[in-house]
Chain A
């Protein structure tokens, strides 16, 4: 059957959209069934391989699955953000490429991939090339300790929270490096602002995390979730409902700091497009720019997931537990992040610092001290 070109394009587009939507639906099913699949794979491997080889192979499979997830996730999140922004702003957003524009991010990614890789003349070439990799590494390496279910964690580190704090800070170095290496005043401003902001906001973040650690008695993320299981309806043991409601404050603090750590509005001053053009990635184009973009969405998802793990019970849910529960909780938090971005104006750099040092840090200490006293009295 000979199709005319527009019809052919429409057919291809429809087929691809169906593939993506179907794939997404399939992914949800797969995520829901991950514990079973993982169990089957583990049993199958254990029957055929030595124990060492089994653990190596299961880590490899876990890494592969996570890498697949975190590389595909930002593409989905970018589309989601554009649609949410559009509907908040009384418009439709991407509608042309595929069903409701689901293929738009793929098209954009393809475009970025084929774009000329420009390195400005005055740039420090080595650092300029290194910076995006550091940033994306910091954002994605953190996923290694994120538990998706009972035993479903790539690396069950006993200092998982410490690792998460440490590795996400790598992003700040990448951004600072990008700002410096670009040899552009706006990029430099963006880099310096970002460094100041991230270093400042790490403090309340760490203190809030510490308050949870005090309540759990472990730095292991799986232990954190284990401590939140049970209770009425599987909900009341979540940390957000404990410590006489003080953990609600901790939760809000952690969420605010998460926004600042990932440079999201209203704390997006490192890339404040109205004053700094594009901030630290002013001079980047093509795939290097895409790396910053992917890192931002990856970090966003990780921070939301960490919030869910610390305060909302992680993968343990009221009716059933598993990766899907964590996924839903995380997406809900990501939605709030996007909602805030398209509603609030941006703070100024001094107000941002004042908010952190004058309000967030003292309040976070209050939560920490309360948690410590509660722990002492309780024992």
Chain B
């Protein structure tokens, strides 16, 4: 295939999916983004609006694209991990965990129980932190400012724990192929338990403050309905799929890191204030998931084996045999998978990141049709997208 090296100059109009000549009487093209306070990043959505009603929508992504997959083909296996951290930058622990699981699957590395337990602890803490951000900003999208700051206070405490653990607050580079970078510091588990005791009532408080507010339910419980068939067809995963009432959680279906040892429920959307699969259902699945994460964390902190070297299984040189593996984990936003192909060298031949947000965003035009302008924000927020992961 020829590799062209010339680019052509495009008129700005050529980047529009909707053409002015196709508009009906009274329709208008409205660009939401790339600079917009509620698109959760650098996302541009082209809306065909008729007054307040949105007739059609097309998302334009790629403003944060840095081609992580090309980076990965030029650096050794361990070196990919910092790049994965920067995909979903509010759920970094889960990203590196997923990549590590994929490479370990490829190399057939078995981990000791302490490492597995630590990974469960950090990924559940990360899930709580990520969901706190999701529901806080969702309140902000709907116009309630206060829950946002209250949830940030709690998120901050988790970030403090992570900082104590590995020195970083956002991009941790913590899960390595075959282990984790640092063992838990002395006293860390005790502090984590103190956090959990203090955090459990806060979930109920946030619940009372926002979840069942009349205005909030009126704004969210009847918009952005994703029927179960559509959700499966678009391969939604995580809270977005479960919000449509489908019980599917990688932690249960394809357990990794010993998740089968923990007792927890998989919350699904109940359709309490409207049809199943609404924005409110997706939001509330996240609230319920935080409760379940607390349950898992309590068990994990109690079961944590005292003995075990976290670097025991870390290979001196990561050099898998030729082959391929697809490793997947339940990240806060859904199934995060890495498809890693090795050609036997020190550098991966191909790393494909399967991003849950990318898939979630691809359904947007289906559910946005016929809703109102203000609902766009409610839908984007309920899908809980992170543009760093969509664009990779």
Contact = CB atoms under 8 A, between A and B. Distances in A.
A147 to B, nearest CB: 36
B289 interface: no
B23 interface: no
A189 B373 contact: yes
Interface string B115-154: 0000000000000000000000001111111100110010
B75 interface: no
A305 interface: no
A174 B36 CA distance: 25
B150 A268 contact: no
B155 to A, nearest CB: 13
B168 interface: no
B215 A344 contact: yes
Nearest to B378: A348
Contacts of B143: 265-266, 268, 272, 274, 344-346
A355 to B, nearest CB: 10
B215 A347 contact: yes
Contact of A348 (B36, B145, B374): B374
Given A345-B144, A346-B143, A91 B37 contact: no
Contacts of A266: 143, 215
B219 A348 contact: yes
Nearest to A341: B145
A374 interface: no
A349 B37 contact: no
B376 interface: yes
A269 B374 contact: yes
A378 to B, nearest CB: 38
A344 B37 contact: no
A274 B375 contact: no
Contacts of B38: 274-275
Interface centre among A88, A89, A91 (most CB of B within 10 A): A89
Interface centre among B140, B146, B150, B216 (most CB of A within 10 A): B146
Contact of A344 (B144, B373, B376, B377): B144
B372 interface: yes
Contacts, number: 77
B374 A90 contact: no
Contacts of A268: 143
B200 interface: no
A351 interface: yes
A71 interface: no
A350 B377 contact: no
User: What class of interface size applies to chain A in its complex with B?
Assistant: 20 to 34
Given A185-B30, A275-B38, A347-B219, A90 B139 contact: no
A149 B143 CA distance: 39
A132 B1 CA distance: 60
A196 B36 CA distance: 24
B150 A345 contact: no
A351 B153 CA distance: 32
Contacts of B215: 266, 344-347, 351
Interface string A177-192: 0000000010001000
B123 to A, nearest CB: 28
Contacts of A89: 145-146, 149-150
B235 interface: no
Contacts of A265: 143
B374 A345 contact: no
B160 interface: no
A8 interface: no
B94 to A, nearest CB: 27
A269 B143 CA distance: 9
A192 to B, nearest CB: 8
A91 to B, nearest CB: 6
B142 A91 contact: no
Contacts of B198: none
A106 interface: no
Contacts of B140: 274
Contacts of B146: 88-89, 342-343
- When A and B form their complex, which 10 residue pairs have the shortest distance between CB atoms, in order from nearest? A346-B143, A345-B144, A89-B149, A345-B142, A274-B38, A345-B143, A348-B374, A345-B215, A345-B216, A275-B377
Interface of B: 28, 30-31, 36-38, 52, 139-146, 149-150, 153, 210, 213, 215-216, 218-219, 372-377
26 contacts: A88-B146, A89-B149, A89-B150, A90-B149, A90-B150, A90-B153, A189-B52, A265-B143, A268-B143, A273-B37, A274-B38, A274-B140, A274-B141, A274-B377, A275-B376, A275-B377, A344-B144, A345-B139, A345-B213, A346-B142, A346-B374, A347-B219, A349-B372, A349-B374, A350-B52, A351-B219
